[in-house]
Amino acid sequence: MMKSIIKQALRKAHSEGRCAFIPFLTGGFPDEATCGDILFALADSGADVIEVGLPFSDPMADGPTIQYSSCKALENGTTPESVFRIMEKAKAKTSCPFVIMTYYNPVFRMGLEEFAKRARDSGADGVIVPDLPPEEADEWLDAAHRAGLDTIFLVAPTTPSERMAWIASLSKGFLYYVSMIGVTGAAFNLSDELVTGIAAAKSLSKTPVAVGFGISKPAEAHALGQVADGVIVGSAFIREIQSQTSPSAQAHAAAALAQSFRAALGRSNSSEVRK
Partner 1 sequence: MQKSNTLSAPQRPWHGVPDERGRFGNFGGRFVSETLMPALLELTAAFEEVQRDPTFHNELEELLRHYVGRETPLYEARRLSEKLGGPRIFLKREDLAHTGAHKINNTLGQGLLAKRMGKRRIIAETGAGQHGVASATVAALLGMECVVYMGALDIERQALNVARMKFLGARVEPVDSGSCSLKDAVNEAIRAWVTHVKDTHYILGSVVGPHPYPMMVREFQSIIGRETRRQIIEREGRLPDALVACVGAGSNAIGFFHPFLDDPVELIGVEAAGDGLETGRHAATLSAGTIGVLHGARSYLLHDEHGQILEAHSIAAGLDYPGVGPEHGYLRDVGRVRYETATDEDALGAFQTLAKTEGILPALESAHALAHLTKLAPRMKKDAVVIVCLSGRGDKDVAQLSARMERRP
The stretch among 15-23, 71-79, 204-212, 217-225 that binds partner 1 (CB under 8 A) is 71-79
∠ at Cα 30 (24, 35), nearest 5°?
60
Among 109, 206, 267, 274, binds partner 1 (CB under 8 A): 109
C-alpha span between 3 and 150 (Å, rounded) = 10
- Look at residue 12 and give its three-state secondary structure: helix
Q: How far is the CB of 234 from partner 1 (least distance, A)?
A: 15
Q: Considering the rule CB under 8 A, would residue 224 count as an interface residue with partner 1?
A: no
Least distance CB 136 / partner 1 (angstroms): 5
Nearer of residues 66 and 251 to partner 1, judged by Cβ:
66
Listed ranges 35-43, 105-113, 188-196, 227-235: which one lies at the site for partner 1 (CB under 8 A): 105-113
Contact 22, 228 (CB under 8 A): no
Which of residues 181, 199, 219, 256 is near partner 1 by CB under 8 A? 181
| Contact (Cβ atoms closer than 8 angstroms) between residue 238 and residue 65 | yes
Kindly tell me which residue out of 94, 131, 217, 244 binds partner 1, with binding defined by CB under 8 A.
Answer: 131
Give 182 or 247: the residue with its C-beta nearer to partner 1.
Answer: 182
Amino acid identity, position 218: P
Candidates 44-52, 63-71, 233-241, 242-250: pick the segment binding partner 1 (CB under 8 A): 63-71
Q: Alpha-carbon distance 71 to 229, whole Å?
A: 31
Q: How many H helices and E strands in the chain?
A: 12, 9
Q: Which amino acid is at 77?
A: G
Query: Residue 135 interacts with partner 1 (CB under 8 A)?
Result: yes
**Strands, DSSP E only, in the chain?**
20-26, 50-53, 98-101, 124-128, 150-152, 154-155, 175-178, 209-212, 230-233
Q: Which of 8, 11, 61, 114 binds partner 1 (CB under 8 A)?
A: 61
The residues binding partner 1 (CB under 8 A) are 56-61, 63, 67, 71, 74, 79-80, 104-110, 130-133, 135-136, 153-160, 163, 167, 178, 181-183, 186
